[in-house]
Amino acid sequence: MDYIKVSICQINSIIGDLKNNIKKIIDFANNCKDSDFIVFPELSISGYPPEDLLFKKHFIEDCKKTLKLNLNKFPSDSFILIGHPDFNKNDEVVNRLSIILNGKIISQYDKINLPNYSVFDEKRYFKEGDSIKSIWWDKINFSFNICEDIWVEDNLITASKKLFLSDIIFNISASPYHINKHEERIKIFSKYTKENNCILVYCNLVGGQDELIFDGNSFVLKGDEIIAKGKSFEEDIVDVYINVKELFKEYEYSEFEIEKFNKIKKTAAIKVNKPYKMNKPKKNICNVNIHSEEEEIFEALKLAVKDYVHKNGFKKVIVGISGGIDSALTATICTLSLGKENVVGISMPSHFTSSETKSDARILAENLGIEFYEIPIANIFQTYLNQLEPYFKDLPFNVAEENLQARIRGNILMAFSNKFGYLVITTGNKSELTVGYATIYGDMAGGFALLKDVPKMLVYKIAKFINKKYKKEIIPNSTIERAPSAELRPNQKDEDSLVPYPLLDKFLKLFIEEDKDLNYFDFLNEKDLKKLIRLVYINEYKRRQAPVGPKITKRAFGKDRRYPITNHYNEIYYR
């Protein structure tokens, strides 16, 4: 026998949808009947991350049952690798990988390295495993582990190779996306596979789950060579043909030798017989469907919004289209992701809305071919002002009246949402949210904040990318070129209140994403720096009430960044 076939099934599972998840797993597996190995992602039965559902004993029992009742539905004579939550023998919850062969679980591995940083809370839920596992099949040795286990310095690729001389190491993951994450993975893991001269089969989840996007991008590394790769941001089956002859050791492992391994503390090994399935290899395929960073982010956002909308039972979305760049990009991505028949745009002009922005809103909607309404807010605004006049008297127009306009718009969008069942997609970007340049219960009102983690300058880049990709002016150039304005008072320009966006974005990267100290902010004068830092801290209460939105950077607002609202710390005040 020369070749074995491995099928990596990068599926999109849904949290808690146990019956449909297992159905999908079985369907995928049965499309891979001639494979020796069929591999599914981390926690694919429950979806990832199930969060506090894991505290429910009956939830774990239901996951167990889901697997148990379906063991005999997998193809015969294939090793099935699958992740699911389970109880260990002390009744503690573990993040487990089970290997199924011919209707039986033949080995189980519990994740040892539990991430508890960034968006991860795994030490909240799981007991870490206590042993490394390995299987000998004929002359091939393979080991298996879960996600974080190969990210750490002292990792299980190296350990498996050293301990068992593993030829093939399987890692099942639910590894969330950020920009260039795939390249990061290859860089880190290939260092270990090269050093240890082994094969890594990496199976990653795909799909959007609240703030997280799983990018798929499964792959097989042989040394530092990528010999197969799955699609980005799509479900996929990656079939890989591995020449095992060149891996064969000189001899088969004897029972005696395996016993020896099992005496080493923290390891467990078994020997398994099953026929080889594959004789005629095909060419391995590297699916490369992404060609630039902008395209990567664009595809990530399309997947994020599609999954949030559909998995939450919505069909249509509604977007407040102002004529500005953020709402234009939001409506465009929604349309390209969900279809024009599923996007409704509403423009809600006020006295302060310029004729250019008003017209840009209409043109965008026409370009997208979406349902579009224009609902002026002047009458409603005036009625509020009349009602408030006895109390506000002749106090000057200020943020109260500015925010009121944004909140009227929020109410109109929510009224459409409640009346017709549309999900409101909010349009604010990361730069605004960093400094609180957004109205809570106004433009922040909605179910999903698509650009929440996209800084303003990147908003422009992606807008330009889309026009270029589709070879037409979908997003009006006048929208791209006009100076950004909230248009809540006469002649308002964002950059009058804030610093220029290129500087703001540089600030946010260093301050929010990288926790840099004051020495890194020479490009801002002290007054602006003071102002920005203060704005970041005092606006925590707004971010806390913001809708979720997809993480695309190394540190997103949301569970990736946990800050006190009540907080007197300020880098500058302390100096």
Residues 347-406 that bind its own copies (CB under 8 A): 373, 375-377, 379-380, 383-384, 386-388, 391-392, 395, 398-401, 403-404
Instruction: Compute CA distances 48 → 147, 209, 548, whole Å.
Output: 12, 8, 16
Catalytic residue among 5, 111, 133, 222: 111
Shortest distance, CB of residue 227 to its own copies, whole angstroms?
34
> In the annotation, is 111 catalytic?
yes
Looking at residues 483 to 522 of the shown chain, list those that interact with its own copies (rule: CB under 8 A). Answer: 515, 517-518
Q: What is the spatial distance between Cα 39 and Cα 204, in angstroms, rounded to a whole number?
A: 10
Q: What mask, x for binding its own copies by CB under 8 A, covers residues 82 to 101?
A: --------------------
Beta bridge partners of 170: 144, 201
DSSP 102-116: TTEEEEEEE------
Count of beta carbons in the 10 Å neighbourhood of residue 548: 19
Looking at residues 421 to 460 of the shown chain, list those that interact with its own copies (rule: CB under 8 A). Answer: 440-441, 445, 447
Q: What angle do CA 249, 203, 163 make, to 5 degrees?
A: 35
Name the pairing type of β-strands 206-209 and 212-215. Answer: antiparallel
Sequence-separated (6 or more) residues with CB below 8 Å from residue 541: 440, 565
| Candidate list 164, 308, 422, 501; residue touching its own copies; CB under 8 A | 308
- For residue 174, what are its two tokens? 């639910």
> In the annotation, is 257 catalytic?
no
Q: What mask, x for binding its own copies by CB under 8 A, covers residues 175 to 204?
A: ------------------------------
Of the ranges 35-43, 358-366, 476-484, 538-546, which one interacts with its own copies (CB under 8 A)? 538-546
| Candidate list 415, 470, 472, 497; residue touching its own copies; CB under 8 A | 415
Q: Is 541 in the site for its own copies (CB under 8 A)?
A: yes
> In the annotation, is 147 catalytic?
yes
Looking at residue 486, its amino acid is: A
| Candidate list 73, 311, 461, 554; residue touching its own copies; CB under 8 A | 311
Shortest distance, CB of residue 212 to its own copies, whole angstroms?
10
Q: What is the spatial distance between Cα 168 and Cα 221, in angstroms, rounded to a whole number?
A: 10
Of the ranges 54-62, 146-154, 193-201, 239-247, which one interacts with its own copies (CB under 8 A)? 54-62
Sequence-separated (6 or more) residues with CB below 8 Å from residue 361: 321, 322, 323, 327, 345, 347, 349, 372, 374
**Between 241 and 437, whose beta carbon lies closer to its own copies?**
437
Shortest distance, CB of residue 208 to its own copies, whole angstroms?
8
Catalytic residue among 9, 32, 63, 147: 147
Shortest distance, CB of residue 27 to its own copies, whole angstroms?
17
Nearest 10 degrees: Cα torsion 189, 192, 196, 197? 40
| Candidate list 30, 31, 56, 254; residue touching its own copies; CB under 8 A | 56
Q: What is the spatial distance between Cα 399 and Cα 407, in angstroms, rounded to a whole number?
A: 12
Looking at residues 8 to 47 of the shown chain, list those that interact with its own copies (rule: CB under 8 A). Answer: 14-20, 47
Of the ranges 115-123, 257-265, 324-332, 490-498, which one interacts with its own copies (CB under 8 A)? 115-123
Tell me the three state secondary structure of residue 75: coil
Of the ranges 55-63, 159-167, 320-328, 360-368, which one interacts with its own copies (CB under 8 A)? 55-63
DSSP 253: P
| Candidate list 31, 116, 197, 262; residue touching its own copies; CB under 8 A | 116
**Between 527 and 568, whose beta carbon lies closer to its own copies?**
568
Q: Is 262 in the site for its own copies (CB under 8 A)?
A: no
Q: Is 480 in the site for its own copies (CB under 8 A)?
A: no
Shortest distance, CB of residue 565 to its own copies, whole angstroms?
5
**Between 39 and 174, whose beta carbon lies closer to its own copies?**
174
**Between 87 and 248, whose beta carbon lies closer to its own copies?**
87
Listed residue (552, 494, 318, 491) closest to 421, CA to CA: 318
Shortest distance, CB of residue 417 to its own copies, whole angstroms?
8
How buried is 272 (Cβ within 10 angstroms: 0-12 exposed, 13-18 middle, 19+ buried)?
middle
**Between 140 and 346, whose beta carbon lies closer to its own copies?**
346
Q: Is 205 in the site for its own copies (CB under 8 A)?
A: no
Cis peptide bond prior to 49, omega within 30° of 0? yes
Looking at residue 425, its amino acid is: I
Is there a contact between 9 and 28 (Cβ–Cβ < 8 Å)?
Answer: yes
Q: Is 128 in the site for its own copies (CB under 8 A)?
A: no
DSSP 446: S
Count of beta carbons in the 10 Å neighbourhood of residue 23: 14
Instruction: Compute CA distances 547 → 52, 379, 428, 433, 512, whole Å.
Output: 19, 28, 11, 11, 19
Shortest distance, CB of residue 485 to its own copies, whole angstroms?
20
Q: Is 526 in the site for its own copies (CB under 8 A)?
A: no
Tell me the three state secondary structure of residue 266: coil
**Between 17 and 184, whose beta carbon lies closer to its own copies?**
17
Q: Is 163 in the site for its own copies (CB under 8 A)?
A: no
Count of beta carbons in the 10 Å neighbourhood of residue 355: 9
Continuous H helices in 339-470 = 355-368, 378-392, 399-420, 430-435, 456-469
Beta bridge partners of 145: 171
Q: Is 286 in the site for its own copies (CB under 8 A)?
A: no
Sequence-separated (6 or more) residues with CB below 8 Å from residue 14: 20, 21, 47, 207, 311
Query: Site size for its own copies, by CB under 8 A?
Result: 88
Shortest distance, CB of residue 215 to its own copies, whole angstroms?
17
**Between 34 and 235, whose beta carbon lies closer to its own copies?**
235
| Candidate list 86, 148, 167, 210; residue touching its own copies; CB under 8 A | 210
Tell me the three state secondary structure of residue 305: helix
Measure CA 304 to chain center: 7
Listed residue (147, 197, 201) closest to 170, CA to CA: 201
**Between 209 and 218, whose beta carbon lies closer to its own copies?**
209
Of the ranges 79-87, 254-262, 480-488, 566-574, which one interacts with its own copies (CB under 8 A)? 566-574
Radius of gyration, alpha carbons of the chain: 27
Q: Is 531 in the site for its own copies (CB under 8 A)?
A: no
Of the ranges 246-254, 277-285, 411-419, 494-502, which one interacts with its own copies (CB under 8 A)? 411-419
Instruction: Give the catalytic positions in this structure.
Output: 42, 111, 147
